Amino acid sequence: MSISPYQYQLLSQSFATIKPNFHCFCVSFNHRLKMHPMSMVIPNAESQILTIEYQLRAFIQQSLIRMANQKELCRYITDNIATIKSLRPSACDIRILCNCFLDTLKVHLGKQFTLAVRNAWKRALHIVANVLKAELFGMSNIVYLDQIRQQKQIGHS
């Protein structure tokens, strides 16, 4: 699954819109997260929250830069997985994070949150979530053609 050039443009434009007021975005995002039962540990100290906001902004920005090249994106996420692991998220938490992120985008983008923008973010979040789940839990929804061919050959032998 990849991102089209048009979707990439929509992602970049919408992130540029929320970036100047990212703290406000994060306050809304955190408020939405607190409405869901999560096993993930989200620090409460203001200094820790500001650090996480800075890291989240950098993570989103760097992920978007690499979104068109999935190998680069995977490498970036893998190289930065320690911070995410330290929060001890569950697979369910990742789904909640993605859904709350989309809801927060909808509120902060207002009329700019079109169906096309929503779909671009859903696709991008799906890609990132899959990489996170693979790195954190060894989960993958990718079926490799070589594995299928190998299984067919074993079945026909």
Whether 115 has a pLDDT exceeding 80, the answer reads yes
Instruction: Report the mean per-residue pLDDT for the chain.
Output: 88
32, amino acid identity: R
76, amino acid identity: Y
Contact 108, 28 (CB under 8 A): yes
- Once rounded to an integer, what is the mean pLDDT over residues 112-139? 93
| CA 28 – CA 56 distance, rounded (Å) | 14
- Once rounded to an integer, what is the mean pLDDT over residues 75-103? 93
Contact 129, 98 (CB under 8 A): yes
Give the burial class of 46: count Cβ atoms within 10 A of its Cβ; 0-12 exposed, 13-18 middle, 19 or more buried.
Answer: exposed
Whether 149 has a pLDDT exceeding 60, the answer reads no
Condensed to tens digits (0 to 9), the pLDDT of residues 8-67 reads 999 999 999 999 999 999 999 999 999 999 998 887 777 788 888 999 999 999 999 999
